[in-house]
Amino acid sequence: MITVPVPLPDRGYEVRIGRFEPAAVAATLLEAMGGSVSGVAVLVDGTVAARSPRVARLVAALGAGLPPGVPVRQYDLPGGEASKTLAEIARTTEWLAENGYDRRAAIVGVGGGAAGDHAGFAAAVYLRGVRFALCPTTLLAMVDASVGGKTAVDLPAGKNLVGAFHQPIAVVADLGFLETLPRREQVAGLAEVAKCGFIADPSLLDALETGGARALELAPEPLIAAAVRVKAEVVAGDEREAGRRAVLNFGHTVGHALEAASGYDLLHGEAVSLGMVAALSLGTSYGVTPAALRDRGRALLAGLGLPVDVERRLTTEVLGRIDVDKKRRGSSVRFVFCTAPGATRFQEIPLDELRTRLQPP
């Protein structure tokens, strides 16, 4: 078991990573809630609830650990992104109200980044805010979505357009959940781990290079913990996304455009892999990313089983989508470049120039 602290002023919390018995997960969650909790609502990704026996055991263990009369109930969400709508938030919060959850209640989100975002946003708005904890069940949620306190749901107009900052009181990443996670989702999660390597921790790049497609099986705890540490450090230094936190967007400017243009056929991590390849190449064309690092990055991502063939995917439609990216400032983009393993640099690039550089005429 590895514990990574997320040192925020007033509301720091810990991320625990390991293979746990449900009773141990429950004990950690209950300790974080303290003695005053009036009820626990476990909001679970419905697919995870159906596939993983760990969910029922966790709910039972929470019940066993709570004082008599303090209820714990499970509420199944639609699987994956389908839970991230305002309609689902309305359903969940009405269910909370019908079941009498008050301000001293706590929510536990169990699932991938989608269920975590749903649970966190429901916790942020129900009764103007109740406490919540997360049990991430995808690699992406363990290394990325569960850390940082951003919560959001989607609108028809776009992803993550309605949300709030709300920090969890605890995060427990039980590696046992990864057993039922489809291989493609596991590999996609590795893209965010690689991102942490490029922007802050070169040892992660070494580990991914050595382990290749087996990197996660070989050393899941240290790998996940190192990525969580990177995100925790960046977030702790910039809780509300004023500046430094933008390094986490490495690979995301082009990645988001590819993801949206694919109609979300590409998984987020796959799109980010392609976006990182584009960012490395672009960096080389500006003379800020060494060609050797560009080539190494591409080979490393391919070795993990991630897509890297970005050039043929940079269609006019994809390039057009870059301009709807949230991080756009006027007619230019604040682009994150990797200048050496673990090191970054920001550069404002006019949109037209960015498009031309990405897809030379």
Ligand X SMILES: NC(=O)c1ccc[n+]([C@@H]2O[C@H](COP(=O)([O-])OP(=O)(O)OC[C@H]3O[C@@H](n4cnc5c(N)ncnc54)[C@H](O)[C@@H]3O)[C@@H](O)[C@H]2O)c1
Give the interface with ligand X as residue ranges (CB under 6 A): 45, 47-48, 51-52, 79-81, 84, 111-115, 117, 137-138, 140-141, 144-145, 148, 150-151, 159-160, 177, 180-181, 185, 268
Q: Which residue has the tokens 């993550």?
A: 160
Does residue 256 have an active-site annotation? Answer: yes
Q: How far is the CB of 172 from ligand X (least distance, A)?
A: 14
Selected catalytic residue, list 91, 233, 241, 345: 241
Does residue 159 have an active-site annotation? Answer: no
Does residue 99 have an active-site annotation? Answer: no
Phi and psi angles of residue 154, each rounded to the nearest 5 degrees, phi first: -95, 160
Selected catalytic residue, list 131, 166, 256, 355: 256
Selected catalytic residue, list 84, 166, 231, 355: 231
Q: Is the Cβ of residue 152 or residue 358 nearer to ligand X in the bound state?
A: 152
Selected catalytic residue, list 195, 229, 245, 294: 245
Q: Is the Cβ of residue 227 or residue 293 nearer to ligand X in the bound state?
A: 227
Selected catalytic residue, list 84, 118, 195, 252: 252
Selected catalytic residue, list 54, 81, 185, 249: 249
For 325, other C-beta atoms within 10 Å of its C-beta total: 18
Does residue 252 have an active-site annotation? Answer: yes
Q: How far is the CB of 357 from ligand X (least distance, A)?
A: 27
Q: How far is the CB of 44 from ligand X (least distance, A)?
A: 10
Q: Is the Cβ of residue 58 or residue 349 nearer to ligand X in the bound state?
A: 58
Q: Is the Cβ of residue 43 or residue 358 nearer to ligand X in the bound state?
A: 43
Does residue 313 have an active-site annotation? Answer: no
Does residue 150 have an active-site annotation? Answer: yes
Does residue 268 have an active-site annotation? Answer: yes
Does residue 245 have an active-site annotation? Answer: yes
Q: How far is the CB of 278 from ligand X (least distance, A)?
A: 19
Q: Is the Cβ of residue 169 or residue 358 nearer to ligand X in the bound state?
A: 169
CB 285 within 8 A of CB 229: no
Q: How far is the CB of 11 from ligand X (least distance, A)?
A: 16
* Angle between helical axes of 252-261 and 268-285 (0-180°, round to 10): 130
CB 254 within 8 A of CB 358: yes
Does residue 160 have an active-site annotation? Answer: no
Q: Is the Cβ of residue 48 or residue 207 nearer to ligand X in the bound state?
A: 48
Q: How far is the CB of 84 from ligand X (least distance, A)?
A: 6
Residues catalogued as catalytic: 128, 150, 192, 231, 241, 245, 249, 252, 256, 268
